[in-house]
Structure 1
Amino acid sequence: MKRSHLPFGLERKWLLPLIGSSVSSLILLLIFTLGHGKASSRTDFSSLERISTVSDRNPPFHGDGLGLPKLPRFAYLISGSKGDVLRLKRLLQATYHPRNYYLLHLDLEASENERLELAKYVKSDAVLQEFNNVRVVGKANRITYKGPTMIACTLHAVAILLKLAKEWDWFINLSAEDYPLFSQDDLLHIFSYLPRELNFLEHTSNIGWKEHQRARPIIIDPGLYHSKKSGVFSAKEKRAVPSSFKVFIGSAWVVLTRSYLEYCVWGWDNLPRTLLMYYTNFMSSPEGYFHTVICNSKDYQNTTVNQDLHYIRWDNPPKQHPINLTSEHFDDMVQSGAPFARKFAKEDPVLDRIDQELLKRSEGRFTPGGWCTGTSLLGRDPCAIYGNPEVIKPTVNSKRLEKLMVKLLDPENFRSKQCK
């Protein structure tokens, strides 16, 4: 399948390979029941190259070998605060794949001992050391709820990932309150059929009541200059809604392309820097910065998919935070087709159910995939023996994500919801 380049058009004929991906899944499952790969060689975080130690009898799944599209790579920012070490470990294990890159961040509310505990885990785990694709931010950022320090932390993480990891396609930000609903094999499989220019972020210019509670107030975030954490405070004066650009509001959870994030960090036409200054005094800047930049950029405004790929439930009427998800919401989560969900209380039993029924993951272990060549018999860890990261085993669950993508990218639905 040929990749389109900016500007690109999503025509109906483009959807056929994605709709047919379920057939590919069946073929792959048949292929990979014939054997397993051998153990991999050590790779480097800055250059995760294809590992070529797989047996000739079991060719890896990738675009060059079977005429299938090349697998993408994801770059994850997984962030937390005080008391979140165990949650970050669990989320890393649930989302881990050797092809991807992971940056773990505990803000300054967490103690140095917590950061050290997280770093020791990364350094001591045999799999993480073998593939060397996980980093812990040592010099943590001060995060103020609702303040611009949150978007500053995200841009900092993006800059690190751009510097250390040469090849990745999409950036995904998750917090300790998030959890995946699909294995990475399923995610990699479906995203391999998508144009690499697509940016997933929920957005709208119809900001309604948020004009008076987000856009007009001028807030100051003490976290930008003060060592102690405190809430933001507002100036007495209000400001007018800008006339030189259009303000967009949306979800703080995004799946963004490397190309677009390079534009945000480097800002070669100055729009990202101009808007960053504006959002320095904007309430809840992560809900607007990336959205406003992309929808005011002629190069990227036609790449947006109006979905944050999260399953989230709100009270009616909505409150400041979404409700905690429990087993009561499990069936809805599954049927949504969303790759991720939030927010979850610590150690809620529904997380164990997701592990058992969706991820096939045991406690304290990585979500198994095609790269895991061991056996699960007698309670063994299938990922204790690992092979080629190019080998993936998408499951029947991937059809739900496929269905969501086909719906989102239907030409009659896709364009009509871009930057409106």
Structure 2
Amino acid sequence: MLEFDKLSLNIPNTTKPRVVIIGGGFGGINLAKKLSNKDFQVVMFDKQNYHGFWPLLYQVATAGLEPDSIAEPLRKMFGSDDYEDFHFRLVRVTGVNPATKTVSTLIGDLPYDYLVIATGTKPNYFGNEEIKKNSFPLKQIPEALNLRSQLLQCFEQASMTKDPETRQSLLNFVIVGGGPTGVELAGALAEMRKYILPTDYPGLDFTKMNIYLVEGMDRVLPPMAPESSAKTLKYLEKMGIVVKLQTLVQSYDGSIATFKSGEQIKAHTLIWAAGVAGALIDGIPEETVERGRILVNEFSQIIGYPDIFAIGDIAYMKTEKFPKGHPGVAQPAIQQGQHLAKNLKRILTKEPLKPFEYFDKGSLAIIGRSRAVADLPGNMHFGGFFAWIIWLFVHIMYLVGFRNKLVVISNWLYRLFTYERGTRLIIRPFVRKGDRAGRKFIRSYGEE
């Protein structure tokens, strides 16, 4: 292994303006694609070497898709001659210094002419360290694989235990957060319970498998229209999912979920999809941070720093139509990345910058096979099979890479006719730190 102190960023010197992009999500890649290498040197930093299509992450967690079908290597995306002066480095950014106009990483510093922060979000546990330690987030591929292993291990353990109380705890699944991630995950688990698991585990009674969806507000899918929320609730309840509205989780110790009301549910698995916070970077002035995100103007510039920009979920751009910022979904990030590329070129040609205007293409959520809801422009709301078709089309369209599109379509077609989920593999067994019983179970079938 190469010694750490012998590593360096190794970015070539340039006479062109250098744009440093922190983050390879929807905002970062769309910005990089639109910047002309003739005009700029583009450097992208990310702590993972791929762009992930996170709207389908729940399908990886529920054994519907393999992780490489929703991810594309960043170097592959920018490997053509069109991106000759694009440079990617797999490195963690440790901070920025607006005064010296440098970005600091674990292996060195790099000066910039223009800095773009597109780091997205991270799970927000609202200061509850116990929940953070014991719950399962779902924001990255490794977390999806951990959750997939946890689900399958619970079924394996439930099939072997003789204690009814322990078995029930293994078959109770609590999902905290009634947004798109929580709703879609609950629907996927309900379909597994109905069509897949009884065949895999004939000795288990899956009528006793409970899926709890917990939401603190008075309806599921709060960002969507009330009509869509109402339809979604009916779909969920018809699928046998226990929906608990206006309910807050107070604690979870890895085996018991306790709610603010005092109610308790014994469950080995609690999935946290209840909120996110901006993935902030050290060095960003505190006065520019509001509600956990970076405050920007209509040009995506950080207030008071015209050469530093923020786009995507990390950016907090207040407008008359969006006084609390744009929704934390892919479309604002995509559009902001493309728009910022045009404005950076305007800076070079000394043209006036144009303000960003978000075109809301609508919101979608799927609740299992042939069930979805859609809020579309023009105050149109759809539910059922038609909304499901729209959801399928949109997600295929925005997947990166032809191979990924082909693999996902093939998987979905196969499942449409068979209900089968072909990736029920415990490739990387998961056990919580300090869970001796879980570690003993892992040792019972694998290596220590």
The answer to whether the superposition gives a TM-score over 0.5 is no
Q: Which has the higher contact order (CA 8 A, sep 6+)?
A: 1
TM (norm. structure 1) is 0.29
Task: Judging by fraction of residues, say which structure has more strand.
Answer: 2
Which protein shows a greater Rg?
2
TM (norm. structure 2) is 0.28
